[in-house]
């Protein structure tokens, strides 16, 4: 029987390492959406295909410079109204009647 090899996997990160760094100078789209009052998916749709100052597309999403938040908010304008899907109406969606 051959000898066992040592594990090549890295040790798990501590909880302190997993927390997002507070000293970074860029934002995620979720953080940008919160700052300018948009919903994240609507913001991503509005940003798609546009060259906005301080915004860089990466393989993981968008990299938004914190200093460009006001300018981005000015360019994008007011957020679109929320849709009228039953999910957003506050109550559960009506169920169809049961057949006998």
The three-state secondary structure class of 10 is coil
> What pTM value is reported for the model?
0.58
Mean pLDDT of 48-74: 88
Residue-wise pLDDT for 18-51, tens only, equals 555 667 788 888 999 999 999 999 999 888 888 8
Q: Do the beta carbons of residue 82 and residue 42 sit within 8 Å?
A: no
Q: Do the beta carbons of residue 47 and residue 29 sit within 8 Å?
A: yes
Percent of the chain with pLDDT over 90: 11
């Amino acid at each position: 029987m051959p000898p066992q090899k040592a594990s090549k996997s890295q040790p798990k990160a501590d909880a302190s390492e997993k927390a997002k760094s507070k000293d970074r100078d860029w934002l995620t789209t979720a953080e940008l959406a919160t700052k300018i009052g948009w919903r994240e998916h609507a913001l991503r749709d509005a940003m798609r295909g546009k060259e906005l100052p301080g915004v860089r597309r990466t393989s993981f999403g968008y990299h938004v410079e914190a200093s460009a938040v006001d300018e981005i908010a000015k360019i994008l304008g007011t957020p679109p109204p929320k849709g009228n899907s039953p999910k957003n109406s506050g109550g559960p969606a009506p169920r169809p009647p049961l057949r006998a």
